[in-house]
Amino acid sequence: MGDFAAQPVIVDCDPGHDDALALLLAAGDPRLRLLGVTTVAGNQTLDKTTRNALKILALAGATGIPVAAGSARPLIGELTVASDIHGASGLDGPDLDVPVGEVADVHAVDLMRRLIVEATEPVTLIATGPLTNVALLLRGHPEVVPRVRRVVFMGGSTERGNTTPYGEFNIVTDPEAADIVLRSGLPTTMIGLNVTHQALATSPVIAEFEGMGTRLGTICAELMTFFAATYRRVFGFAHPPVHDPIAVAAVIDPAVIRTVAVPVTVELAGAHTRGATVVDLHHRTGQPPNAAVAVSLDVDAFWRLLMTAVRRVAG
């Protein structure tokens, strides 16, 4: 399949072990044209998430893709990073000593704006971190909104949280940004914990990465081994869920997930529930749907897409 059929996308991320796999999938699947990568503070501070994105793209041989750093903190309040899950670097585990490309001399929001304006067709934004950059783009540059096809984000849940009892990390980190995106009028797709907790990097998955026999395959195996240890320690999970690449997979092949069109509100005020996604699955609020919310995942199809892409970029 040539570039003519490839969907233009921008990935906004905070690598992050699962963001790293999301970048490899976005760079490695020929059905996507990765126009640029933008970074946000989340799993780690902005300098670290940006460096991590550059490293992963370098390992994927995708150094021609522009990378720009964006927001160093959420719209309101202070950043709390996820060192307990992703380590001090944000990508602890493997030795990622690799020569990296340059970070663009432009803010992430301005790079997104430029890439969207220059694109010949509407661009899909895939967000795998807090939605700070995306919200700033939509608020600061409303003229580009008609040129955004949709926003597909990993965040929230139809069930409970992972950072607070009811809040998922990306939404809890910047609830106001998520609120802006969900009320923007753009088509949105929410990939929440209710589906991402089905995509587990089990021992056979890690063995498949290792068995690729490439440096990148080994790095993926080592990333997942570190991730497994933190998920075991913090959550008692037998295997770690790889949240973020599901958002990319859902753009490559929408059949990987099943969605329902429902109203989603972000709790901004709750004393114990700030950052929770209130998903009206049974249409009790009478509000119009503002999101396609993933409710099931074709786990085998997802792993096939991811493994094929990692083999492709490493080969």
Catalytic residue set: 243
Q: How many residues bind ligand BDR (CB under 6 A)?
A: 15
Residue 150: Cβ within 10 Å count: 16
How far, in Å, CA of 8 to CA of 293, rounded?
Answer: 22
Tokens representing 303 are 């792993």
Provide the minimum distance between the beta carbon of 212 and ligand BDR in the complex, in angstroms, as a whole number: 23
Q: What is the DSSP letter of 58?
A: H
- The yes or no reply on residue 129 touching Ca ion (CB under 5 A) is yes
Say whether residue 170 binds ligand BDR (CB under 6 A): yes
Helix (H, G, I), strand (E, B) or coil at 277: strand
CB of 192 to ligand BDR, least distance (A): 9
- Shortest distance, position 264 Cβ to ligand BDR, whole Å: 16
- CB neighbourhood size of 81 (10 A): 18
Instruction: Scan residues 206-225 and list those touching Ca ion (CB under 5 A).
Output: none
In angstroms, the Cα distances linking 308 to 5, 171, 300, 302 are 18, 30, 12, 10
Question: Rule CB under 6 A: is residue 166 a binding residue for ligand BDR?
Answer: no
Q: Which of 81, 207, 198, 186 is nearest to 124 (CA)?
A: 186
Q: Is 128 in the site for Ca ion (CB under 5 A)?
A: yes
Task: Supply the minimum distance, in Å, between the C-beta of residue 129 and ligand BDR.
Answer: 6
Whether the bond between 275 and the residue before it is cis, its omega within 30 degrees of 0, is: no
Map residues 8-27 to x or -, x wherever contact with Ca ion holds by CB under 5 A.
Answer: ------x-x--x--------
Q: Which is nearer to Ca ion, 36 or 129 (CB)?
A: 129
158 near ligand BDR (CB under 6 A): no
Query: Site residues for ligand BDR, window 19-78 (CB under 6 A)?
Result: 19, 43
Residue 272 burial (C-beta neighbours within 10 Å; 0-12, 13-18, 19+):
exposed
Interface with ligand BDR (CB under 6 A): 16, 18-19, 43, 82, 85, 128-129, 154, 162, 168-170, 243-244
Interface with Ca ion (CB under 5 A): 14, 16, 19, 128-129, 244
